[in-house]
Amino acid sequence: MLEQLRRNGLWLWGAVALVGGSFTAFGEGGACAVEVPDPGLEAALREALNAAEAPLACEDLARLEALNAAERRIQSLEGLEHAVNLVTLDLKGNRIADLTPLAELRYLEELDLVSNRITDLAPLANLTRLKRLHLGNNQVQSLEPLAGLTQLTELRIGNNRVADLAPLADLGRLAVLVAWRNAVTDLQPLANLTRMRVLSLASNRVTDLTPLAELAQLDTLFLSENQIADLAPLAGLTQLKVLSLDFNRITHLDPLARLVELTELGLDANQIADLTPLAGLTNLQVLSASENRIADLTPLGGLVRLEQLGLNFNRIRDISALEGLKALKVLELEGNQIVNLAPLAGLTELRVLVLGQNRIADLTPLGALVNLVQLEVSRNEITDLGALAQLENLVRVSLVRNRVTNLGPLVANAGLQGGEVIDVRLNCLDLSGDPEVFEQLKALEARGVHVEFVRQDSACVP
């Protein structure tokens, strides 16, 4: 009987009820009225209860098991302490600083507090049934109140001010921890969390990955924007499918050679020259290694499942190793030293091709890439656009700062029928002295193609 009363949110003692730690007087018939000062919270409660006009009562709130009060400009949670049977509560995108009214909502299993103004988590300390807790985009420094929440399987604390993960050391059920953009340096508290599958520690101050060495169930690991040089502790994490290591201090990839389950690998902005350890990672579908020191692409020749490859701003001249990568849909090679595009001629699945800032003069090999939607070849040495005449799926073409004198092939492209953007600024188009160019521009714009052409290169225009 007492358990039933508690589940109804009512502990009777004479004419007074103790609810959420505060005394509430009963009116006639034993009902108690609930004061909810915040209009946003009141509106959310009334919608959930389908009670547009009637006074809110304790027993009404006690019936709620789920409440979505996201993005209501809520500042105060006063009154919510009466919703003692809530299991799921969504409060993201509000202006909440004080969590005290949540302290006795002990049936909560899912709580979303993303994007509020929270600094103190103390009121959550006794919510021991919590399984999923989202606290991203707040101002939290201490996780100490979470130390006893041993049922947690998912914790998201991205974009806070957390430096110490020690309170998480005994949360052995954690499978998902998202803690990007904090101030974490020491990963030792995570060493025994062997159920971890997803771990995001991007944008912290991590240097040593040793504590992660035994987290054998990890399949997703985000470590970009740290200070990592040594990848040796990752060598045994053979279940990894997604690994992000962008913006670190990595020079050698040897520890990754056995991670054959990887499908996505991010290595941008490191100091890598040798891709040889990746040669056996034949499940890779996405590889990004821009802003490194790479010249030799030979190790990539067997990665036939690759669909996206980013190698911008390296030292690449020869792209012949790519000619067998027939599944490629996105290829980015900006800022290299490429002259010959012949190896790309058979990559007919390509949708996006980025080749700006190279030494390309001849686009002929691209003529068969009929699925291309976006082509970026700015800052090269191109004069002839003939290869583009048959690429009828093009939506965006950037040809800035080349040596183009004639737009005839674009006019001949029957697929350019409206909405496309073509940028031919800083070329050699004679806009005042060549009537043919003027007519070509008019023809394209009459079909609804937006052509950026103002300002040409005075060095090559009469």
CA distances from 443 to 408, 409, 419, 438, 446 (A): 10, 12, 14, 9, 5
| Residue 237 structural domain | 232-315
Q: In the prediction, which pLDDT does 7 show?
A: 41
Do 346 and 450 lie in one domain? The reply is: yes
Q: Is residue 86 part of a domain?
A: yes
Do 173 and 191 lie in one domain? The reply is: yes
Q: Is residue 333 part of a domain?
A: no
Do 349 and 448 lie in one domain? The reply is: yes
List, in sequence order, every beta strand (DSSP E) within 75-178: 88-90, 110-112, 132-134, 154-156, 176-178
What are the tens digits of pLDDT across the range 401-418?
Answer: 999 999 999 999 999 999
Q: How would residue 81 be classed by pLDDT, with cut points 50, 70 and 90?
A: very high
- Strands across the sheet containing 16-19: 12-13, 16-19, 22-25
CB 440 within 8 A of CB 410: yes
- Domain end, chosen from 46, 81, 115, is at 115
Distance from C-alpha of 38 to C-alpha of 43, rounded to nearest angstrom:
9
Q: Is residue 373 part of a domain?
A: yes
Q: How would residue 459 be classed by pLDDT, with cut points 50, 70 and 90?
A: confident
In this model, does residue 357 exceed pLDDT 60?
A: yes
- Helix (H) or strand (E) holding 165, with range, is none
CB 125 within 8 A of CB 108: no
Do 129 and 200 lie in one domain? The reply is: yes
Do 352 and 454 lie in one domain? The reply is: yes
Q: Is residue 322 part of a domain?
A: no
Do 351 and 305 lie in one domain? The reply is: no
Do 123 and 146 lie in one domain? The reply is: yes
Do 80 and 125 lie in one domain? The reply is: no
Which amino acid, residue 288?
S
Do 129 and 91 lie in one domain? The reply is: no
Q: Is residue 26 part of a domain?
A: no
Q: Is residue 21 part of a domain?
A: no
What are the tens digits of pLDDT across the range 361-400?
Answer: 999 999 999 999 999 999 999 999 999 999 999 999 999 9
User: If DSSP codes are grouped into helix, strand and coil, which group holds residue 170?
Assistant: coil
Which amino acid, residue 294?
I
Q: Is residue 360 part of a domain?
A: yes
The count of structural domains within the chain is 4
Q: Is residue 16 part of a domain?
A: no
Q: What is the CA radius of gyration of the chain?
A: 30
Do 369 and 442 lie in one domain? The reply is: yes
What are the tens digits of pLDDT across the range 329-356?
Answer: 999 999 999 999 999 999 999 999 999 9
Do 349 and 456 lie in one domain? The reply is: yes
Predicted model pTM? 0.92
Do 244 and 194 lie in one domain? The reply is: no
Q: Cβ–Cβ contacts within 10 Å for residue 326, how many?
A: 12
- Domain end, chosen from 115, 150, 168, is at 115
What are the tens digits of pLDDT across the range 228-265?
Answer: 999 999 999 999 999 999 999 999 999 999 999 999 99
